[in-house]
């Protein structure tokens, strides 16, 4: 029964190579051995360590998003009224953004719920009783679930200008992939990171919502 649960979890985590790819072991290896990796197959830079991920996601000089319009902290009715660079959004743009908001909101939160159930069933069944006996612990549980078992594993950014910021030569236009799910396991930031522990004091420093100029609207 237990091995069936593990298999299913691995399959839902990653669509590729479900049978022999173990994300957590891979993150561990990358964090220790190849924290900045150029991958020729996808023509991308991949960064894994906490501070590098932070830099890539938040440093405007290093990277820029491909997106030209950002929507943060808006309700649907605001989209109709909004003026961006002197223009209102077209009907098509409003429909597209609404679909995006619904997708972004539904997929993320349903995955968080599913991961949380999985963790209570498999990672630490006793935690369920602990939460039941002290409801005030639930926010700590949510932060730890976002750090430890969240499915948005990475975000990409495009390099704005040639630079050596991360100690390698990146060219303007290169794509950098910031692996937040690996950086959330960086032992320089989180003690014993591969263990589920809602009482770790800095769990809320996870990078699951990304950061910087563009960040998750659901985090607001």
Which residues form the interface with ligand HEM (CB under 6 A)? Answer: 57, 67, 70-72, 101, 104-105, 108-109, 112, 150, 152, 155, 208-210, 214-218
Q: How far is the CB of 185 from ligand HEM (least distance, A)?
A: 16
Q: If you count DSSP H runs as helices and E runs as strands, how many of each does the chain have, helices first?
A: 8, 7
* Residue closer to ligand HEM, measured from CB, 30 or 181: 181
Q: How far is CA 207 from CA 60, 93, 173, 183, 186, in A?
A: 17, 29, 24, 7, 11
* Residue closer to ligand HEM, measured from CB, 19 or 67: 67
* Residue closer to ligand HEM, measured from CB, 9 or 101: 101
Q: How far is the CB of 4 from ligand HEM (least distance, A)?
A: 26
Q: How far is the CB of 133 from ligand HEM (least distance, A)?
A: 25
Cβ-closest residue to ligand HEM?
A: 218
Determine the Cα–Cα distance for residues 21 and 15; give it in Å rounded to an integer.
10
Q: What is the DSSP letter of 170?
A: B
* Residue closer to ligand HEM, measured from CB, 74 or 127: 74
Cα torsion angle, 193, 196, 200, 206, sign? positive
Q: How far is the CB of 220 from ligand HEM (least distance, A)?
A: 9
User: Residue 45, SS3?
Assistant: strand
Count of beta carbons in the 10 Å neighbourhood of residue 69: 9
Q: How far is the CB of 152 from ligand HEM (least distance, A)?
A: 5
Q: How far is the CB of 2 from ligand HEM (least distance, A)?
A: 27
* Residue closer to ligand HEM, measured from CB, 19 or 69: 69
Residues 210, 162 contacting (CB under 8 angstroms)? no
* Residue closer to ligand HEM, measured from CB, 18 or 218: 218
Q: How far is CA 91 from CA 79, 87, 100, 110, 199, in A?
A: 10, 12, 14, 28, 47
């Amino acid at each position: 029964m237990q091995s069936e649960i593990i298999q299913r979890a691995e399959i839902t985590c990653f669509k590729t190579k479900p049978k022999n790819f173990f994300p957590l072991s891979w993150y561990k290896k990358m964090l220790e051995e190849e924290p900045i990796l150029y991958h020729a197959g996808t023509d991308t830079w991949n960064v894994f360590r906490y501070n590098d991920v932070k830099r890539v996601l938040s440093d405007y000089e290093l990277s820029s998003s491909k997106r030209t319009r950002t929507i943060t902290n808006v309700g649907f009715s605001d989209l109709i009224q909004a003026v961006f660079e002197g223009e209102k959004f077209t009907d098509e743009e409003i429909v597209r953004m609404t679909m995006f908001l619904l997708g972004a909101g539904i997929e993320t939160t349903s995955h968080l719920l599913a991961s949380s159930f999985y963790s209570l069933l498999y990672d630490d069944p006793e935690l369920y009783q602990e939460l039941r006996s002290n409801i005030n612990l639930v926010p700590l549980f949510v932060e730890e679930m976002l750090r430890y078992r969240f499915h948005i594993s990475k975000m990409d950014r495009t390099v704005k200008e040639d630079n050596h910021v991360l100690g390698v030569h990146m060219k303007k236009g290169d794509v950098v992939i910031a692996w937040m799910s690996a950086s959330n396991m960086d032992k320089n930031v989180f003690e014993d990171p591969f263990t589920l522990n809602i009482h770790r004091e800095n769990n809320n420093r996870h990078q699951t919502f990304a950061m910087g100029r563009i960040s998750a609207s659901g985090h607001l």
